[in-house]
Amino acid sequence: MHNHSCYICKNKPKSFMTFGQMPIANGFLSKNQFKSEYFFEMEVAFCNQCNMFQLVNQPEPDQMFNENYAFFSGTSKLMATHFEEFSNHVLDDYIKDKNDPFVVEIGSNDGIMLKNFAQKEIRHLGIEPSANVAQVAMDQGINTIVEFFDKSLAEKIVNKHGQADAYLAANVMCHIPYINSIVEGIKVLLKPDGIVMFEDPYLGDVIKNTTYDQIYDEHTFLFSGHSIQYLFNQFDMELIDVEPQESHGGSMRYVLAHKGAKPVNKNVQKQLEYEIDLGLMNVESFNQFKNNCEKYRTDLLALLNDIKSQGKSIVGYAATSKSTTIINYCNITEDHLDCIYDTTPIKQGKFSPGAHIPVIDHVNFKDNYPDYALLFGYNHEKEIMAKEQEFMDQGGKWITYVPEVKII
């Protein structure tokens, strides 16, 4: 049994499932790194005091986010459009009437969100711990510092720039085990009438659709309205709105403010009631989730084995972080997938974490179409299928596994 204390409330969360030994999800590696590859036991638990779903063992941050970090947001058109919408929402609905507004984003990546503010000459600051990614933003003239955010950094920012009208984050908050100190920092950073807006993969969608590949080393938490309310209430802040998103296969956008500073939208109460109905406070739901994961693992492996026994070829499509969980939990190997095609230069010529399946430049996909492609980037399914119409015209088939294993 684990001795893990909850990151939020220090209570003892109940562990209900382990995915076994997992590598770093974004740790694409070269042959000479195979021997020293890092693994950790990926166990998940639920805290019934603060309702937080969390990993029990967190790898060291420098194992995950360093100069080799391989995720650049800007490579997806879909995400670029999504963040433009996010930025416009902040501008139009929350800060457009402010005098000289100041916007801070943590985990600002390559500047995909902040460039929308920079172009409008709005004061902004990006905080990004991965130096190589931050450099891309700086090269585009987006004010960025290479730091981890906490209370002491918040104090420094306030001393230098004043308090912020908006604190933003996208797919970042759920990565941070010391999240209490982040919220403590937000409390310092935010103007009395400022807002917090962030989005992350949503626990409700993961449980409902068995999207267990949202669980990997970087995702310390899967949030719900209940757990976010608890987390921010500790620091006299509250949820004022929730907005379900389709990005990343099911996300939730949370809007928060200092307690009593803003009216609370009725969506908040609706969402909290929906979560109770869905069973997100109930350990039975998590046991059912575990059973579903095991079933889908069995189904996917049986399908791949069946296709291979017919002498057909299968490749992976999109070397995503999420694919690492699927590949390693389902014991998918090079015997199943010839390679994984991907458009990200930093991953090409490397091997997938754990299973060491070669990652090949996507331009080679159409030179030699396989019989089947296992679609790891399923959250971009429409975008990908439209782009790869020719593969389908030539008889190619897709294998997807959300919300169930099937051939398209």
Token pair in block for residue 229: 């309310």
Q: Which amino acid is it at 159?
A: N
pLDDT at 404: 87
Torsion of Cα atoms, 372 then 378 then 384 then 388, to 10°: 10
Distance CA 279, CA 262 (A): 29
What DSSP line would sit under 25-67, residue for residue?
Answer: TT--B-GGGGGG--EEEEEEEE-TTT--EEESS---HHHHSST
pLDDT at 244: 95
Distance CA 117, CA 329 (A): 40
Token pair in block for residue 208: 């409902």
Q: Is the CB of residue 213 less than 8 Å from the CB of residue 19?
A: no
Q: Which amino acid is it at 310?
A: Q
Residues 76, 374, 34, CA angle at the centre, nearest 5°? 85
Distance CA 49, CA 234 (A): 13
Distance CA 186, CA 109 (A): 19
CB count within 10 Å of CB 382 equals 9
Return the residue matching tokens 């063992």.
Answer: 57
CB count within 10 Å of CB 284 equals 8
Q: By three-state DSSP, how is residue 8 classified?
A: coil
H or E segment and range at residue 74: none
Domains in the chain, start-ordered, CATH in brackets?
Answer: 73-277 (3.40.50.150), 285-407 (3.40.50.720)
Distance CA 302, CA 358 (A): 22
pLDDT at 66: 55
Q: Which amino acid is it at 2?
A: H
Q: Burial of 301 by CB count in 10 Å (0-12 exposed, 13-18 middle, 19+ buried)?
A: middle
Going along 114-259, which residue ranges are E strands? 123-127, 144-145, 164-170, 190-201, 221-222, 237-245, 251-258
Residue length of the chain:
408
pLDDT at 64: 62
Return the residue matching tokens 């993961």.
Answer: 206
| Terminal Cα-to-Cα distance of the chain (whole angstroms) | 41
Starting at the edge strand that comes first in sequence, how are the strands of the sheet with 39-46 ordered? Answer: 14-23, 39-46, 53-55, 221-222
pLDDT at 200: 96
Alpha-carbon radius of gyration of the chain = 21
Q: Is the CB of residue 90 less than 8 Å from the CB of residue 166?
A: yes
Q: Is the CB of residue 340 less than 8 Å from the CB of residue 43?
A: no
Distance CA 268, CA 113 (A): 25
| pLDDT mean by block of 10 residues, the chain; 408 residues | 85 95 93 93 96 90 58 69 94 95 96 96 94 91 95 98 98 94 98 98 95 93 98 98 84 97 98 96 93 96 98 97 96 98 92 98 96 91 92 97 90
Say whether the peptide bond before residue 358 is cis (omega within 30 degrees of 0). Answer: no
Q: Burial of 380 by CB count in 10 Å (0-12 exposed, 13-18 middle, 19+ buried)?
A: buried
